[in-house]
Amino acid sequence: MCNIVIGGQFGDEGKGKIISYMCLKDNYDIIARGGVGPNAGHTIVYDGQEYKVRQIPSGFLNKNTKLYIGAGVLINPDVFLDEISKFNKFNIKERIKVDFQCGIIEETHKVRDKGDANLREKVQTTGSGCGPANEDRIKRLGKLAKDIPALNEFLCDVAMELNDAMDKGKKF
């Protein structure tokens, strides 16, 4: 069984809360994140505790669920590794995988994002570097997750893993 949650707006729709709830209530085997990257993020309240995530999938609260970040998602290695460390009690490091083809957000992308008046004023960018990183990715100028040694232990072919999981009847 495969369920998909899609946002039809530009964020702030509650996708993270819905996914977190579904993952806990329905005990999914896998949660796979698509989308852009670490923009504004998701706030989840569980057992009276508030958790804010920008990079890792919001289904991380269920310790039995494997977590995947798909190839279309931009990765900020600092945000990714910080969230794994910050939420260590959920054993995320042992459960999360990143597609080797994910684009990488570098410091230069954040500087370009924050320095562009059009993005800042008209688009109201979060300043996370997603726009410029996607621009570089489209131009084939950006780095990929496979180019970042700190991410090596998390890399996989997410599409292949999800196809295998579907063949095995896993719930995601």
Going along the chain from its start, the domains and CATH numbers come out as: 1-104+146-172 (3.40.440.10), 107-142 (no CATH)
Collect the ranges in the chain with pLDDT lower than 50: none
Q: At a CB cut-off of 8 Å and minimum separation 6, what does 164 contact?
A: none
Strand-pair category, 96-99 with 155-156: parallel
Q: Does residue 12 carry a catalytic annotation?
A: yes
What is residue 171's predicted lDDT score, i.e. its pLDDT?
A: 84
d(CA 161, CA 163): 5
Q: What is the pLDDT of residue 42?
A: 83
Residue 37 confidence (pLDDT): 83
Can you say whether residue 17 is alpha, beta or left, with left for phi > 0 and alpha for psi between -120 and 50 degrees? alpha
pLDDT at 106: 96
What local confidence, expressed as pLDDT, does residue 118 receive? Answer: 67
Of 42, 109, 113, 136, which one is the catalytic site residue? 42
pLDDT given at position 23: 77
pLDDT of amino acid 124:
65
Residue 42 is a catalytic residue: yes
- The whole-number pLDDT of residue 22 equals 82
pTM: 0.89
